[in-house]
Amino acid sequence: MIARTLRRPKCMGNLVITEFITLDGVVEDPGGAEKSAFGGWAFRFDRGENGDRLKFEELVAADAQLLGRRTYEGFAQAWPAMNDNDFGRKFNSMPKHVVTATLTELEWENSHPLGGDLIDAVATLKQRYDGDILVSGSVQLAQALLAAGLADRLNLMVFPYVAGGGKRLFADGAPPASFELVDTEQAGQTVYLTLGRRE
């Protein structure tokens, strides 16, 4: 079942939504940079060396990133200054496709606006890459991709915390969807879950 879930035609990348998430499904502002009322919870827990390894392996498996505008703007402020390690160098240099109707000039290295119909644009991207296409954060975009059935895999780092409010990955009214558990691994005080979309 797992092999069938993850199998894709040659020359087609998997769209992978990767999120830090609480027990009650909140993905809003885990690091607290947005200073939201429900943010900052990720730093209450240690994901350990195993968590760092898992996130690095996730990045290495990817050929490109797909980002919403707000997440892109936050990343573009922070990541260019973090080019002193393998993770930062890969993160900065890889292609970044930004879903935006307002940004036309993207200054962060190797960044490209992605306009037009989202479903058509993402289908074209998946044909372009062999490796994974990572969607980090970008809650509104992730929800749209899930609703359209375009997400092939979910990588969820689950934090043992109840936020009690905030934006959830699966909000009320989300269409039903089935996933299969591919892998689970403890990462410090968190758990890293890999889920494949069930055909």
Q: What is the pLDDT of residues 55-87, one digit of tens each?
A: 999 999 999 999 999 999 999 999 999 999 999
Residue 56: which domain range? 2-197
Cα dihedral 155, 188, 45, 168, rounded to 10, equals 20
CATH, residue 83: 3.40.430.10
pLDDT grade for 8, boundaries at 50, 70 and 90: very low
The pTM for the full model equals: 0.90
| Structural domain count of the chain | 1
Burial of residue 160, with CB atoms counted within 10 A of its CB: 0-12 exposed, 13-18 middle, 19 or more buried: exposed
